[in-house]
Amino acid sequence: MRFFIVFMIPKYIDIHSHVNFKIFDEDRDEVVKRALCNDTWIINVGTQVDTSKKTIELAHKYPKGVYAVVGLHPIHTSSSFHDEQELGEGGEEFTSRGEVFDKNIYREFLKDSKAVAIGECGLDYYHLDEGSIEKQKKAFVEQITLSKETQKPLMIHCRDGAKSGTGRAFDDLVEILKKSNLSVPFVSHSFVRDLTLAKQLLGLGSYFSFNGIVTFPKTDDYREVIKFLPLDRILTETDAPYLAPVPYRGKRNEPFFVKEIVKKIAEVKGLPEIDVMEAIVANAKRIFKI
């Protein structure tokens, strides 16, 4: 029998991680245990039906401190780039057909006590095929509708088209959000854009989640956003296994490393680290009702 020290109020919360991905199959329990024993809670995020289901199954292995977000990532709405860290070898069958968002499946997932939000959903114009933009928009709007129905917050992913030449992802995102009149919280996950966009999204009610990118060199624009944002709108994440922060850069990321993002945010805002820690935990508990 396994025992964990699980604190009622943790010091840190990684609100966006993927310990449910294949790359953690060999040591998943050790990764989760390392976070929990170091006073860090984890919210794992799904990207399609299989990985969403796994977030719930994983959360139920621990009495407290591990939660699930379920949803359809925009790149999985059609044939897409395949990342073996996510689906492992043999994932080509999935990516060749894409997934049509099935509201009934995800509605059932959201009935689970460990499922705290919908996502990650949104728009991603980085890897495109013909017609995928409209598929992405349709799936995103359907997940917004489900969010309103279930009163679950949204975990939003948005990335512009550096490779495709399509740079309108954030413009389209803002347009959809404006039309949606959201009555539930939403999080702009892995926010790495400029102050102008941050102000637009803040005006729409967004929370902003920052990861290891803010510890990298030459990220002054992102730090200006952190300085500007009210502390009650800031969250922290790892996006593990990706984007490990300094001093772990180049390694596989994991939830335990989220403390480095908290340190950097405190440094950038010129605030005591304890104040930032407490505010971020309070924000996450309020949004996700955990």
Where do the structural domains in the chain lie, given as residue ranges? 12-288
Specify the pLDDT at position 94: 41
Peptide bond into 217 cis (omega under 30): no
> Model's pTM, two decimal places?
0.92
Q: What pLDDT is recorded for position 180?
A: 96
**What CATH number does the domain located at 12-288 have?**
3.20.20.140
**Residue 112 CA: distances (Å) to CA of 19, 69, 105:** 19, 11, 12
Percent of the chain with pLDDT strictly greater than 90: 80
Continuous segment of H or E residues that includes residue 116: strand 115-124
Write out the H or E segment, with its range, that includes residue 136: helix 132-150
- Weakest mean pLDDT among 8-22, 73-87, 189-203, 233-247: 73-87
